Amino acid sequence: MNNTLNEDIKIIKDAKITSPKGYMAVGIHSGIKKVKKDLAIIYSKEPALCSAVYTTNVVKAPPLLWCQSLTDNNEKIQAIVINSGNANACTGDRGYNDALTMAKTAACALGIDEKSVMVTSTGVIGAYLPIDKIKAGIKKAANELSNDDKSANDCADAIMTTDTFSKKVTVEIYIKGEKVTISGIAKGSGMIHPNMATMLNFITTDANITKEMLDKAFKSTIDDSFNMITVDGETSTNDMAVILANKMANNPVIEKTDDEFEKFKNALFYVTKKLAKDIVKDGEGASKFMECTVKNVSDKNKGRVLVKAVLNSNLVKTALFGQDANWGRILSAMGASGAIFNPNLVQIKFKSASGEILMYEKGLPVEFDENFALKVLSEKDIQILIDMNEGNSEVTGWGCDLTYDYVKINAEYRS
């Protein structure tokens, strides 16, 4: 995956989930939360192709099971209903019926098939949805769908839980002369009573693309973006990412892995990577943002294992918080990852806006200037650069430090 921004991709400053042609959105307060917006709908005038990935957690929330039944059957999707404040997880048959009720209510209100309505929830687990409030809310929201700026912003706000900022991105590319737009919104790893880190990502595009190519592009960008971030190494019962493609850009169909496909994939990767990095930057209690790159590794899967081991290590994360150039913890985390490698070939560097510093090379520590190391690590954005010297693959992932505030947020939210 190309990490550098392709000049063909235009970043739209005023990002809106409704920027691609044919989409409308809405975000309202339905009464699940006390005051804040808690219910959103994303709607496509035309039934859209849909590609989605779901949590790998064995414990899956009922709304995910509903969505999976739709995507397993390649249903075209016209609406996504999202509520925040209650995850409808660990709620058994009643939870599944509630998810189905949400789909049916939206289908009626919008005059579409219930099998074209995805439903997602995020928030408290182990509590039943206030389904009457939600039904009323869906009817109200359906009437307020719009493609104006306010509705798009309300939608992005309504899916948040403890996120401190809304995450949104819009890009434009040209496919054989036709403008194609891709937008995304996300909610991140903010956790809520009783606390699960749920990641939700919704992407809209007006691209004309085959289902096969949409799946291929989405899968590949997901692997290098949402699947390469970590706040505390755990997957939630409700994690999902979904893309809708409604073909309304009228570009000649993208149907094989040609240059146009690559252009689309790169633009989509920009969107997913931007959302992924924003999720990490909003990680609970995080004070530093950490980018870890493993280069010259023998294969990408091994690189992913190594990058995640470093990003997930509590010892690396606390060292980063303490601004300590502790390469030993990085090497040890790599060694404990299960990946097989020769430590004598490895090189480890830290890098930030203040400079780059070599810590470890050829099996031996490198003497370094402690003051310069502290300067490099005092920045907010830190890169960990690992050279395996054994192959040609490269993998990058993103994480954050482990702070007092992480412990505070996750231990004391009841007090």
What is the radius of gyration, based on Cα positions, of the chain? Answer: 22
Min. distance of Cβ 258 from its own copies in angstroms?
Answer: 37
Tell me the closest approach of the beta carbon of residue 127 to its own copies, in angstroms. 7
Q: Which is nearer to its own copies, 35 or 58 (CB)?
A: 58
Q: Closest CB to its own copies among 144 and 405?
A: 405
Q: What does the DSSP assignment read for 63-84?
A: HHHHHHHHHHTT--EEEEEEEE
Q: How far is the CB of 229 from its own copies (least distance, A)?
A: 15
CA distance 293 to 271: 20
154/38 Cα distance (integer angstroms): 10
Pair of tokens at residue 176: 């054989």
User: In 125-199, where do the E strands start and end?
Assistant: 167-175, 178-187
The whole-angstrom separation of Cα 376 and Cα 371 is 9
Strands 39-54 and 23-28: antiparallel
The residue to which tokens 């070599």 are assigned: 358
As measured in angstroms, the least distance from the Cβ of 224 to its own copies is 21
Residue position matching structure tokens 């930057």 = 281
What does the CA dihedral 269, 22, 32, 227 come to, rounded to 10 degrees?
-10
Chain residues in the site for its own copies (CB under 8 A)? 56-60, 89-92, 125-127, 191, 194-197, 232-237, 313-315, 318-319, 321-322, 324, 326-329, 331-337, 339-341, 343-344, 360, 362-365, 402-404, 406-408, 410-415
Name the residue nearer to its own copies (CB basis): 196 or 271.
196
Q: Is the dihedral of CA 4, 10, 13, 15 positive or negative?
A: negative
Name the residue nearer to its own copies (CB basis): 121 or 170: 121
Burial classification of residue 107, based on how many CB atoms lie within 10 Å of its CB (0-12 exposed, 13-18 middle, 19 or more buried): buried
Task: Answer for the pair 230, 261: CB distance below 8 angstroms, yes or no.
Answer: no
203 Cβ neighbours under 8 A, 6+ residues apart: 182, 183, 184, 241, 242, 243, 244, 268, 271, 272
CA–CA dist 23, 354 (Å, integer): 43
> For residues 298 and 318, which CB has a smaller minimum distance to its own copies in the complex?
318
Q: In whole angstroms, how close is the CB of 344 to its own copies at the nearest point?
A: 7
- Report the distance separating Cα 230 and Cα 56, nearest Å: 14
For the question of residue 257 being annotated catalytic, the response is: no
Shortest reach from residue 371's CB to its own copies, in Å: 12
Among the listed residues 296, 93, 274, the one whose alpha carbon sits nearest the alpha carbon of residue 183 = 274
- In the chain, the amino acid numbered 341 is F
Q: 299 is written with which tokens?
A: 């294969």
Nearer to its own copies, 221 or 326 (CB): 326
- The span from the CA of 212 to the CA of 206, in Å, is 16
C-beta of 321: minimal distance to its own copies in Å? Answer: 4
With respect to its own copies, which residue has the nearer C-beta, 7 or 370?
Answer: 370
The catalytically annotated residue of 162, 170, 198, 403 is 198
Residues with a known catalytic role: 198
